[in-house]
């Protein structure tokens, strides 16, 4: 992926990794469009980053995605980078007598169905460009699951597998397929405590390393991996899978 001169759409671009990545790419001389559910946050982000464009959309709503994709294709026919970053997380307790799956269904809809639907809708635009990129934010939990959050972990494993297959399908087109797999990062994805959790990677440190990887084209088999996530990526090969799984099981209180 070239680092400047792109027209980029970042979903989930109003907070956390999505916002800071959008801002970093905006600073590199790209036209950046951010999408998110809350108009107030979109106004805040675009107000602090002149030239950035914000569009409100609920990516858990299939009809809204169709309308949004049609609008993007009309307004930004030069779109050549789609960063599917929007996602939600949660925990489920399968030891309970009554298991509430509301959050699980929402997580699947946003993290899987919404990503697949939006990608399918915008791939024709990407394929029409001389050089383009489809990127999806997954997680180190795609490689070793977090037991308190089994559905979230599984959605990221799904996306990892989907991207591997898509990369092969699109290898003769102009579309580069990339997976951005963060480690545990100081964002609000898992709740307000995560922002200051010393076990998590500082957000600015993470974004700086990601941008360096993109600038240096240090992408490994289509995967953007900072050093802190690599032990998870290779855990099974290194014989550390169970060790990480047991450690993750004790992290939630």
CATH code assigned at 222: 3.40.50.720
Structure tokens at 133: 């990129």
Helix (H) / strand (E) element for 248: namely helix 241-249
- From the list 142, 163, 164, the residue with the least C-alpha distance to 153 is 142
70 within domain boundaries: yes
175 within domain boundaries: yes
Which of 152, 184, 206, 241 is the catalytic position? Answer: 152
2 within domain boundaries: no
User: What pLDDT, on a 0 to 100 scale, did the predictor assign at position 253?
Assistant: 55
User: Could you report the per-residue pLDDT of 102-116, keeping only the tens digit for each?
Assistant: 999 999 999 999 999
236 within domain boundaries: yes
- From the list 146, 138, 186, the residue with the least C-alpha distance to 166 is 138
Residues 6+ apart with CB under 8 A from 165: none
**In which domain, by residue range, is 147 found?**
7-249
Strands of 53-56's sheet in order across: 53-56, 31-36, 7-11, 81-84, 132-137, 175-180, 223-224
61 within domain boundaries: yes
Domain total for the chain? Answer: 1
Distance CA 17, CA 159 (A): 17
Active site residue 241: no
pTM: 0.96
User: Could you report the per-residue pLDDT of 174-223, keeping only the tens digit for each?
Assistant: 999 999 999 999 998 878 888 888 999 999 999 999 999 999 999 999 99
User: What pLDDT, on a 0 to 100 scale, did the predictor assign at position 49?
Assistant: 97
205 within domain boundaries: yes
218 within domain boundaries: yes
């Amino acid at each position: 992926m070239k680092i400047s001169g792109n027209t980029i759409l970042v979903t989930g671009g109003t907070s956390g990794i999505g916002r800071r990545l959008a801002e970093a790419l905006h600073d590199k001389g790209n036209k950046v469009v951010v999408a998110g559910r809350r108009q107030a946050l979109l106004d805040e982000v675009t107000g602090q980053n002149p030239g950035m464009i914000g569009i409100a959309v609920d990516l858990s709503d299939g009809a809204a995605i169709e309308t949004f994709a049609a609008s993007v294709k009309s307004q930004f026919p030069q779109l050549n980078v789609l960063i599917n970053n929007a996602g939600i997380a949660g925990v489920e307790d399968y030891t309970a007598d009554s298991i509430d799956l509301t959050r699980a269904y929402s997580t699947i809809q946003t993290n899987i169905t919404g990503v697949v639907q939006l990608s399918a809708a915008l791939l024709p635009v990407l394929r029409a460009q001389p050089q383009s990129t489809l990127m999806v934010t997954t997680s180190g939990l795609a490689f070793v699951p977090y037991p308190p959050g089994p559905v979230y972990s599984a959605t990221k494993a799904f996306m990892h597998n989907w991207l591997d297959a898509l990369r092969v399908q699109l290898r003769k087109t102009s579309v580069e397929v990339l997976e951005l797999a963060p480690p545990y990062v100081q964002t609000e994805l898992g709740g307000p405590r995560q922002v200051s959790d010393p076990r998590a990677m500082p957000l600015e440190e993470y974004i700086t390393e990601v941008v360096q990887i993109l600038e240096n084209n240090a992408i490994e088999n289509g995967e953007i991996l900072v050093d802190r996530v690599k032990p998870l990526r290779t855990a099974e090969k290194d014989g550390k899978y169970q060790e990480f799984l047991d450690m993750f099981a004790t992290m939630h209180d």
